[in-house]
Amino acid sequence: MSILKKEFLWGGAVAAHQIEGGWQADGKGMSVADVMTAGSNHVPRRMTDGIVEEENYPNHQAIDFYVRYKEDIKLFAELGLKCFRTSIAWTRIFPNGDELEPNEAGLKFYDQLFDECLKYGIEPVITLSHFEMPYHLVKQYGGWRNRKMIDFFVRFAEVCFSRYKDKVKYWMTFNEINNQTNYQEDIAPFTNSGLKFTEGEEREKIMYQAAHYELVASAKAVEIGHAINPSFEIGCMIAMVPIYPYSCRPSDILAATVAMQRRYWFTDVHCKGAYPSYIKSYLDRKHFDLDITSEDEAQLEKGTVDYIGFSYYMSFAVKDHEKGPSYDYDEAHDLVNNPYVESSEWGWQIDPDGLRYAMNWFNDRYELPLFIVENGYGAVDVPSKDGKIHDEYRIAYLRQHIEAMKEAIVYDGIELMGYTPWGFIDLVSAGTGEMKKRYGFIYVDKDDNGNGTLNRSKKDSFYWFQKVIASNGENL
């Protein structure tokens, strides 16, 4: 007997821009992902203004899923997936983002994709906005700093909900909406919200404004979605990276408490439909005079989410920096290494217990069902002499995290809908644009320069995860 319920959604997660390619196929418009160059572990990706000829844009081809989706989904079925989390590329449906009518060819692609999943009994789990908003909206309107985005997004959401109402039950509005807490660096504000800053602009204030419009747009979408199909389950999606106090020094504990508030207040708005007191007082103290209307506040209340989808890869730690009682958390500078955990080659601190901690943190506050929609280990895979990938390091990572997740269910009584490991088929890294930061159980033959046959093959983790699903999580 498994400790997991029999409907537990074992799956795999990806995002459209990281797998599809076909960046101009069938009328697709240019997205923010299409203007991001390839970076590497220590070289950040750059955002060009449109396409520059000699640059390498890894998302243009990605892993060619747009062409190969039928063969790929057949492999997903062989793996035993109960669900498949992907996103709908906004630019396939509204190429520029501000059109009134959708692009039929784009809608048709997702009809075919979902039909193909359903044919094998694989439930689609769909993110509406996953780091791929139309670039035109950035150029023309300044991205989510502009209130007009709300209507553009809601129109996109409504078209998707109506078109796929009988094919898709599980939705999420904005992927990792809280990543932009890292507003000091360029990448998260751009991928989350299409924000580009000029010298001297108050980045933090702009981030709060953009996030507010997104939260209102999300709430509107949730309300409309429920009207279109009352059995929809619509969630938020939070990048959960718990921030621990570095020590038991009381001021370290307080620093971590404030840091957690600054990184996770988004969840309060999504789940409770209102801003928490600590953010209201922070915005006042900073004199951020934001455009938040009473209609917005009423809307937030009407569009609370059904579940909390979240990603979990790692944890952070923070020390009190003698900043005094206000302790203004600064994500780009305040984090310190945790001496008790190991790191991946990309510096991500591996911490399975942190997953159980995170699940409890959410459950204590919101008492909503949880859905782990990303978890995984990005690593370089080197084929052995037999030509195969023996990725026992990836299996070890996932096994430990699944164990932690089961502990949270058994010992803490937490309601968990499912578990979809990230990048279960190798894909383009969001953070670095690399292929070699691989998460997959399915290997894709392509390197960072875009060379390779794009052939798919099974790693050891494929056979392992197949057994995990078949035993409903008992056989780890």
Structure tokens at 161: 């909900």
Report if residue 132 touches ligand P53, rule: CB under 6 A.
no
β-pairing verdict for 243-245 and 370-374: unpaired
The site for ligand P53, by CB under 6 A, has a size of 17
Q: Which residues contact 33 (CB under 8 A, 6 or more apart)?
A: 17, 18, 59, 131, 132, 191
Rule CB under 6 A: choose which of 212, 429, 441, 465 binds ligand P53. 429
Q: Which of 292, 268, 293 minimizes the C-alpha distance to 279? A: 268
- The end-to-end CA distance of the chain, in Å, is 14
Query: Which residue in 165, 431, 436, 458 binds ligand P53 (CB under 6 A)?
Result: 431
**Residue with the two structure tokens 């390498």:** 56
Alpha-carbon distance of 427 to 87, in angstroms, equals 14
**Exposure of 237 in the CB half-sphere (CA atoms within 13 A):** 30
Answer for which of 8, 10, 11, 15 binds ligand P53 (CB under 6 A) is: 15
Instruction: Report angle CA 199, 205, 210 to the nearest 5 degrees.
Output: 105
Residue 20 found at the interface with ligand P53 (CB under 6 A): no
Binding part of the chain for ligand P53, among 96-104, 211-219, 396-404, 427-435 by CB under 6 A, reads 427-435
* Residues 105-124 as x/- pattern, contact with ligand P53 by CB under 6 A: --------------------
Give the footprint of ligand P53 on residues 298-317 (CB under 6 A). 311, 313
CA angle, 245 as apex, 241 and 249 as ends, to 5°? Answer: 175
When the beta carbons of 275 and 307 are compared against ligand P53, the nearer one is 307
Largest CA distance in the chain: 65
**Residue number with CB closer to ligand P53 (91 or 432):** 432
Amino acid identity for residue 355 in this structure: L
Which of 131/144 has CB closer to ligand P53?
Answer: 131
Residue 38: both structure tokens together: 């390839």
d(C-alpha 457, C-alpha 117), whole Å: 20
CB of 189 to ligand P53, least distance (A): 12
Q: Decide if residue 437 touches ligand P53 (CB under 6 A).
A: yes
372 is a site residue for ligand P53 (CB under 6 A): no
Bridge-based pairing state of the strands 442-444 and 456-458: antiparallel
Q: Interacting stretch for ligand P53, rule CB under 6 A, among 34-42, 133-141, 172-180, 245-253?
A: 172-180
**Nearest residue to ligand P53, scored by beta-carbon proximity:** 431
Q: Hey, what are 315's tokens?
A: 């944890």
Which of 71-79, 114-122, 292-300, 424-432 is the region at the interface with ligand P53 (rule: CB under 6 A)? 424-432
**Active centre residues (catalytic):** 176, 374
Six-digit token string for 181: 């807490």
What residues between 226 and 265 interact with ligand P53 by CB under 6 A? 239
Binding to ligand P53 by residue 175, rule CB under 6 A?
yes
Minimum separation from the CB atom of position 240 to ligand P53 (A): 9
Residues in contact with ligand P53 by CB under 6 A are 15, 18, 131, 175-176, 179, 239, 311, 313, 374, 378, 422, 429-432, 437
